[in-house]
Structures are given as C-alpha cells and as structure tokens.
C-alpha cells in the first residue's frame, strides 16, 4: 500500500523532528521495504484461505503450510532490510510512524507475525502464545501511537484512504481471531471490541472523507479495496470466537462484506492503473481475507455444492496471487538499472 499512497498528500509533511540530514532518503528506502510487506500479508492471507478449506479436503493443509512459510520468509527478509537501513533507530522509527503517507504500513510487521504464529501453533502452542503476545503488544503500540498522532490534527489536510484502517481496525480483528485460535477467549473479546470501535469511528471518518473530498489520486485508488478487510477480518474474528458458528452477528458481517464487494465491483473501472507497480499487491489481502470468510460461510451453511464452491474460490484467489507474482517478477527484471546489465557488443 505504501508505494501507491506516497503521492496522496504531497503538500503535507510530518511535524518537524530532529533527524539526520539523510533522513528523507533513508526513509524512502525503509518505506519501500515496509510497503512491500503487502506481498507477505497477501501470501499469508491466501494461506488462511487454504487452511479454511481443510474441512473439504486434507490436502489443503500442506498447501497452507507452504504459503505461510513463504510469507514468513518474505517478512524476515524485508524486515531485516528495514532494520538495516535505520529502522531500529528510535528517531528513525518515530519519523516513520509519524509520516502522513506511510506510517500506517508499519502495522504490517505485527499483523504478519500474529498470522504466522497462530498458523504454526500446533507444533509449539506455548511458543506461539508468547510470540503472539509480543506481536499483539506491538500492534497495539503502533495503533495507539498512530491514533495519538492523528487526533492532534496532523491528518487534517490529508486525503484519507482505507489504508488507515489497517492498524486501528483490521489489526485488532486479526488479533482477536488469532487469540481465539490460541485459546485466549478473553483477549479475543477485548481485541474484537477495539477493532469494532475503531471500524465504526475511524471508518466513518474515512468514508466521509472519500465522499466529500473528491477522488483519490490514481496511484492510490487500489487502496479502496481495503474497505473489504474490516468486515472480512471482523467476521473471521467473530466466527473464530464461536467455533465456526455464524449466528445473526456472523451473517451480519457476511452481509456487510457482500455489499462492500458489490461497491468495489462498481469501482473497478476507476481502480485500473496504466501499468503494473508493486503497490498493486494491495489487492491480495482483501481478496484472500474475503475468500477465507466466504469459504467458512459456505462450510457453515452445509450446502451440497460446498466442495465445488470452495475449490472455485480457492482457484480464483490463488490464480490472482500467481498473476501478481508473475507481474512482480517481470517488473523486478525490468527495473534493473541499465548500468548493471552486461553491455552488448556491436
């Protein structure tokens, strides 16, 4: 998300902070690395969708494991590069958190950590709970710090987009679903309440801004698909807490998600980009989370066509990720500087 939101508010800058003279350039490198974590999040989200399909066929579990391993590998590489370029420094971290365009993307780090820890909890439950505690605390700190900065009016001149919901709403919902998986019901309820409150308040502000402040710049428009993440992750959190039973609230989340998907469908012509860029990975997690929730909904209804619908959804979501991966590899190959390529003899 970071890559295509950088130009959303070019006239707004973070409040002055004492930073090294090279800070803006180093921030750009760190922001790129954190922004690319949308790749890891999308892969983990698809792993969750495959995990939801285990009730249809056991072969889905090893596929899910493989996807989570790849997600963790990408997460580790990009996090190491972020830290290597100054992310471990207190002033640099403070600068990154307060950046009006990219600060929210730091929530990728604990979100992916929670997802991976929960998935592999069957191998080491106690270790997974400790890892979850660390990542959940980090997610809470990031969200609270960002919100504390935002309520001071620092975003008053910024065109808001749904990416700002990631740390304050989606992260708590994911923390709630993860806590239920790890057998921590009290923590799950607390995190769910935080996510719901933030979705209703911050989400209302963002939606109002989108309606009244005019269209987003074209590079930032794919972030509109993030509107589907809160109802998808909120629904997953609710059903995880209730052992897969939907009930009125679960079906309520399903209705909101379905309506939001319909909204996004009408927005598709406006979301088109002139060319591929890595920021388009923003599509991956909304697609995967919606697929995950849809599979669990289909399973709960016990419809006769459940297996066929499940495989159709998985094939669509997996195909989308494969296409994104292929486009990313081709983009990376084309981005190699000419000077680094071997010269051709004439």
What are the tens digits of pLDDT across the range 145-162? Answer: 888 888 877 666 566 778
In this prediction, residue 5 has a pLDDT band, given cuts at 50, 70 and 90, of: very low
pTM: 0.86
Distance CA 16, CA 190 (A): 35
Give the contacts of 299 (CB within 8 A, at least 6 positions apart). 52, 55, 56, 244, 306, 310
pLDDT at position 210 is: 85
Q: What is the pLDDT of residues 211-262, one digit of tens each?
A: 887 778 888 888 899 999 999 999 999 999 999 899 999 999 999 999 999 9
Distance CA 99, CA 5 (A): 11
Q: What is the pLDDT of residues 158-192, one digit of tens each?
A: 667 788 899 999 999 999 999 999 999 999 999 99
Whether pLDDT at 142 is above 60: yes
**One-character DSSP codes across 201-220:** HHHHHHHHHHHHS-PPPGGG
Whether pLDDT at 201 is above 70: yes
> What average pLDDT is seen over the chain?
85
Instruction: Please answer whether residues 271 and 224 qualify as being in contact, where contact means their C-beta atoms are separated by less than 8 angstroms.
Output: yes
């Amino acid at each position: 998300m970071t890559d295509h939101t950088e130009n959303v508010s070019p006239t707004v800058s973070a409040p002055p902070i004492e930073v090294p003279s090279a800070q803006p350039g180093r921030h750009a490198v760190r922001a790129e690395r954190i922004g690319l974590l949308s790749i890891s999040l999308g892969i983990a989200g698809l792993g969750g969708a495959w995990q939801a399909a285990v009730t249809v066929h056991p072969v889905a579990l090893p596929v899910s494991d493989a996807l989570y391993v790849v997600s963790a590998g990408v997460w580790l590489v990009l996090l190491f590069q972020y830290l290597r370029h100054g992310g471990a420094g207190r002033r640099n971290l403070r600068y990154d958190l307060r950046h009006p365009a990219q600060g929210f993307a730091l929530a990728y780090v604990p979100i992916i950590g929670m997802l991976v820890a929960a998935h592999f909890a069957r191998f080491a439950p106690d270790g997974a709970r400790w890892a979850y505690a660390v990542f959940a605390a980090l997610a809470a700190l990031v969200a609270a710090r960002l919100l504390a900065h935002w309520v001071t009016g620092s975003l008053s001149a910024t065109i808001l987009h749904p990416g700002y919901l990631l740390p304050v709403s989606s992260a708590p919902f994911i923390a709630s679903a993860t806590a239920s998986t790890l057998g921590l019901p009290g923590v799950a309820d607390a995190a769910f309440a935080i996510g719901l409150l933030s979705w209703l308040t911050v989400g209302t502000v963002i939606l109002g801004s989108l309606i009244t402040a005019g269209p987003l710049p074209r590079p930032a428009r794919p972030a509109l698909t993030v509107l589907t993440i809160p109802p998808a992750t909120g629904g997953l959190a609710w059903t995880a807490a209730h052992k897969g039973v939907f009930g009125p609230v679960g079906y309520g989340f399903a209705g909101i998600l379905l309506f939001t998907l319909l909204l996004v469908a009408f927005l598709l012509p406006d979301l088109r980009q002139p060319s591929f860029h890595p920021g388009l990975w923003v599509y991956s997690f909304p697609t995967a989370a919606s697929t995950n929730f849809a599979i669990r909904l289909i399973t709960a209804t016990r419809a006769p066509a459940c297996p066929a619908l499940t495989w159709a959804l998985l094939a669509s979501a997996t195909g989308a990720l494969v296409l994104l991966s292929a486009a990313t590899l081709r983009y990376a190959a084309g981005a190699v500087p000419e000077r680094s390529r071997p010269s051709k003899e004439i």
